[in-house]
Amino acid sequence: MEEGKFRYDGPAQTLDFEIERTKDPITGKVPWQQLRLAIEATDLTRKQLRLLDNFTEALSWSERGPVSDVPGPSNGNTRANGGIPSGRVRAIMVDSSDATHKTVFVGSVAGGLWKTSDITVSPANWVAVDERMNNLAIADICQDPRPGFQNFMYLCTGESYGNSDAVRGVGVFKSVDGGTTWSFLSSTSSYINGTRILCDYLGNVYLGTRSSGLLRSTDGGNSWTTITPSGIGNDVCDLEITSTAVAGRLHVTTGIFSTSGYRYTDNPETQLQPSGWNAATIPFTTFNQRTELAVSGNTLFALPDNSSHLVPTIWKSTDGGVNWAATTTQPTSGWANGQGWYDLSAAINPSDPTNCIVGGIDCYETTNGGATWSKFPHGSEHLANMYMPINMIFNGGMVAANCFLVVTGVCIIQQMVVQPSETEM
């Protein structure tokens, strides 16, 4: 029997089948932009038909659910306020153009981009953004920080961490109207495995990918230059910058089941040579797996995942990443619960560098720079005016950032309440 002739279906096979039946036979690629135009033309035709005198709306539909497969305590759901899980959400961004800082965008790995105009409401009202995007696998989102340019936003696509149900991306999308509509950047069609995206104080865009390394655009995404540091592989797992108001130090870690490493540069906007990056003098230990960073000025925490997908040691630097040392103590052994390859996040209080939260399956907090750690939340009301992380991870009820959502510097303990519904994600 020919090997592979009879095999089970799966997410990868389904996606391959979809690509095969929709791709251009000449280019071998799916004409995403033409598909979008066709959808828009269909919508326009429908609107025009509704204007005709003899037009009749045959059926009117309204959603009736389900919105969750966990109805309540009777089925084991003991979450606060009866909160329900969403699907996997890897991107979150507070809209800096909103003076109240209540507007928040979140990106699902399979359900597209969502927005709420008031994150302080519990539960928040989430609305799908631009459902006609050609790809709904949102990996990360960022905003141009320059005054007058905050209507420019970018998001990268692709679930790039190796899970069996991972959703493939198509590249980077850009919005020029504050996130209302999004256009695909054809210059990024090769970057289908996005992991991180951010803007610096000049509006330059930095794109971290799996396989394609680290890239920079200085012209709003029209063209890209590869600036991957040498010697640490091409699988970027985290990308952090110390400031978007002034020139900042850019930190990058690599390793997604592959060669891992860490580098930094003080000149990301002009960095050209792969060899021009700085390595740590005293590095943290890596395991050829991913490493998550938390950055606030010269204070950094590093969470390297090992082959058992645990984080045996949290490392800290107080000199901008030059020298690293293990924190004095560690959270409870096994706190990453064997899912550090996917569920891993960290954030530092920007007003107090000794205060940091790390998360895998469980969250732990230090208020003294790593001298001690305690499980978070503590069962009592947590202090406000706390965290502003860029890349916290949400994942259907079992990942760290499910425990808290951050807006305007206020830590809102919203266990599952503020997320879009499961069926919509």
Note the pLDDT tens digit of each residue in 94-148: 899 999 888 989 888 888 999 999 888 877 888 999 877 878 899 999 999 999 9
Residues contacting residue 51 through CB under 8 Å, at least 6 positions apart: none
Q: Which superfamily is assigned to 130-279 in CATH?
A: YVTN repeat-like/Quinoprotein amine dehydrogenase (2.130.10.10)
How many Cβ atoms are within 10 Å of 408's Cβ, its own excluded? Answer: 16
Positions in the chain whose pLDDT score sits under 70: 1-12, 15, 57-58, 63-87, 377-425
DSSP state of 409: T
Q: How many helices (H) and strands (E) does the chain have?
A: 2, 26
Q: Measure the CA–CA gap between 178 and 358, rounded to whole angstroms.
A: 31
AA identity, residue 378: H
Structure tokens of 50? 């509704």
Q: Whose structure tokens read 């990106």?
A: 107
Question: Looking at residue 67, what is its pLDDT?
Answer: 60
pLDDT at res. 206: 98
pLDDT digits (tens, 9 = 90+) for 18-45: 778 888 888 887 787 777 778 778 878 8
Q: What is the predicted pLDDT for the residue at 400?
A: 31
> Which of these, 224, 234, 230, 283, lies nearest to 255 by C-alpha position?
234
pLDDT of residue 378: 46
Res 345: pLDDT: 87
Question: Amino acid identity, residue 402?
Answer: N
Element (H, E) at 366: strand 363-366
Classify strands 172-175 and 345-349 as parallel, antiparallel or unpaired. Answer: unpaired
Q: What is the pTM of this model?
A: 0.81
